[in-house]
Amino acid sequence: MEELLKEIKKEEYGKVLTDVSLKEHTTYKVGGICKMMIFPKSVEDLVRLIRKLKVKKVPYMILGRGSNVLFSDRKYQGVIIKLDNLNQITWRGNKLIVGAGASLMKVAMMAGRKGLSGLEFATGIPGSIGGAVYMNAGAYKSDMGYVVSSIKVLTPNLRIITMVNKELQFHYRTSFLKTHPGYICLEATIKLKPGKREEIEAIVQERKKRRLQTQPLEYPSAGSVFRNPEGMYVGKMIEDLGYKGLTKGGAMISDKHANFIVNYQNAKAKDIKDLIDFVQEEVKDKYHIDLKVEQEFKNWE
148 within 8 A of 190, measured Cβ to Cβ: yes
Looking at every residue in the chain, the average pLDDT score rounds to: 96
Name the β-bridge partners of 87. Answer: none
pLDDT of residue 301: 85
DSSP symbol at 191: E
pTM (whole model) above 0.85: yes
23 and 7, same structural domain? yes
CA–CA gap between residue 293 and residue 188 (Å, rounded):
25
Over residues 271-300, mean pLDDT? 97
Residue 1 confidence (pLDDT) above 80:
no
CATH (domain of 182): 3.30.465.10
d(CA 158, CA 151): 15
Task: Tell me: do 10 and 72 sit in the same domain.
Answer: yes
Domain that includes residue 22, residue range: 2-82
* Annotated catalytic residue, options 67, 103, 117, 224: 224
Q: What is the CATH number of the domain that holds 287?
A: 3.90.78.10
Q: Does residue 213 lie within any of the structural domains? A: no
Of 44, 59, 82, the residue at which a domain comes to its end is 82
Domain boundary among 167, 199, 231: 199
Question: Is there a single domain that holds both residue 76 and residue 124?
Answer: no
Is 229 among the domain residues?
Answer: yes
* Statement to judge: residues 179 and 119 lie in one domain: yes
60-72, pLDDT tens digit by residue? 999 999 999 999 9
Shared domain check, 138 and 112:
yes
The verdict on whether 2 is a catalytic residue reads: no
Contacts 24+ apart (CB under 8 A), 104-109: 104/128, 104/129, 104/131, 104/132, 104/137, 107/190, 109/204
Active-site residue flag, 173: yes
In this predicted structure, what is the pLDDT of residue 43? 98
93 and 187 fall within a common domain = yes
The answer on pLDDT for 25 being more than 80 is yes
Q: How far apart are CA 20 and CA 101, in angstroms?
A: 19
Q: Which of 65, 103, 128, 294 is catalytic?
A: 294
In the chain, % of residues over pLDDT 90: 95
Same domain? For 191 and 246 the reply is: no
Cα separation of 174 and 226, whole Å? 13
Q: What is the CATH number of the domain that holds 36?
A: 3.30.43.10
* 54 touches 10 (CB < 8 A): no
Diameter of the chain by CA atoms? 58
**pLDDT higher than threshold 80 for residue 7:** yes
Q: In angstroms, what CA-CA distances link 248 with 61, 270, 297, 299?
A: 29, 9, 18, 21
Check residue 9 and give its pLDDT.
Answer: 85
pLDDT tens column, 218-249: 999 999 999 999 899 999 999 999 999 999 99
pLDDT tens-digit map of 127-152: 999 999 999 999 999 999 999 999 99
Looking at 199, 231, 259, which one is the last position of a domain?
A: 199
Tell me the per-residue pLDDT of 245-260, one tens digit each, with 9 for 90 and over: 999 999 999 999 999 9
Q: Is the pLDDT of residue 202 over 80?
A: yes
Mean pLDDT of 76-81: 96
194 shares a domain with 112:
yes
pLDDT in the model for residue 61:
97
Residue 6 is predicted with a pLDDT of 84
User: Do residues 248 and 187 both lie within one domain?
Assistant: no
Identify the active-site residue in 128, 173, 175, 221.
173
Which of 21, 20, 23 lies closest to 272, judged by CA? 23
Strands 261-263 and 251-253: antiparallel
Is-catalytic flag, 128?
no
Q: What is the pLDDT of residue 206?
A: 95
Residue 3 reports pLDDT greater than 90: no
Number of domains making up the chain: 3
